[in-house]
Amino acid sequence: MKGTRWHRLALVGSAIALIVFASLVGGLLWQGLPEISWHFLWSPPAETGIFGGIGPELLNTMTMVGAASLITVPLGLAGAVLRVEYGARPGFILLFDRIRYTFLSIPTIVIGLLVYQWVIVGLGWSLSIGTGVVALTAMNWPFVVDMSVSALEGVPDTFREASLALGGTRYLTLLRVVLPTALPALVSGLGMAMARLMGESAALIFTAGINVSKHWAFSAPGETLAVHLWYLRTESVAPHADAKAAATGVVLLTLVVLVLYVSQKLARWLKAVDG
């Protein structure tokens, strides 16, 4: 009876949370969808006037998230392999985990300030897409390591033992047994990592800037969708700024949902093929 009460309470709480979430998303869609058009998706933003779009911001978001992912995925996976497959000493594992958890706990705005101090002030780089990639890489690497560690630890030890018993080396066991088995979880985690980066704004304000250049380049300023959304809500003087911000939020939310959906579908397909 007591368990039934808690079950009902959990259902009521879930229903309330779902209603609140649906109302928030519904309001965003109601305000933003009428503003979305092909012209809005491909044209540059306008400080004044009602015809500005998000074309450069859309390109910058995909470029920076894609570049940061290409850098952090192999580096993060390498760190996870070192920790799970080759980190036999308890002292090394303890030190590795402490470093990993420390980096995961650092606020992203602090990472942005550190990248600004080291890369822009120290090395003389400018506010640019390239500097934004450095910031996203610094934020994403510990998350990818943590996700990869969880995926590799999810592979049963009996798989490794069976491969080694059949004469396989540790390297071949990793390459042909462990990684293929962990691949669905790795793909799913990569989707979450990319979705997380798409919504980042604080660190990119200090590193990539809050405007865009007429000529796209890695050395040029690169406002993203999340930063553009923040700017429209707080600083913009353009007419219909709230509606433009809602439309930008709809596009950003659509990208996040699409990335998560594709990664989950691909992970399920890989799991079915492996099974």
133/242 Cα distance (integer angstroms): 28
Tell which residue, 214, 68, 89, has the closest CA to residue 144.
Answer: 68
Q: What are phi and psi of 209, to 5 degrees?
A: 95, 175
Residue type, 225: L
Lowest-pLDDT choice from 81-95, 115-129, 149-163, 172-186: 81-95
Rounded mean pLDDT of the chain?
87
Q: Which domains are seen in the chain, by residue range?
A: 36-274 (1.10.3720.10)
**At a CB cut-off of 8 Å and minimum separation 6, what does 150 contact?**
185, 189
**Average pLDDT score over residue span 177-196:** 93
Residue 163 CB neighbour total at 10 angstroms: 18
Residue 117 CB neighbour total at 10 angstroms: 11
- pLDDT digits 0-9 by tens, 80-137: 998 888 876 777 788 888 888 888 888 889 999 999 999 999 999 989 999 999 999 9
Residue spans of alpha helices (H) in the chain: 2-32, 38-42, 55-84, 90-105, 108-115, 129-153, 157-165, 170-173, 179-198, 202-207, 225-234, 241-274
- Whether the per-residue pLDDT at 239 is higher than 80: the answer is no
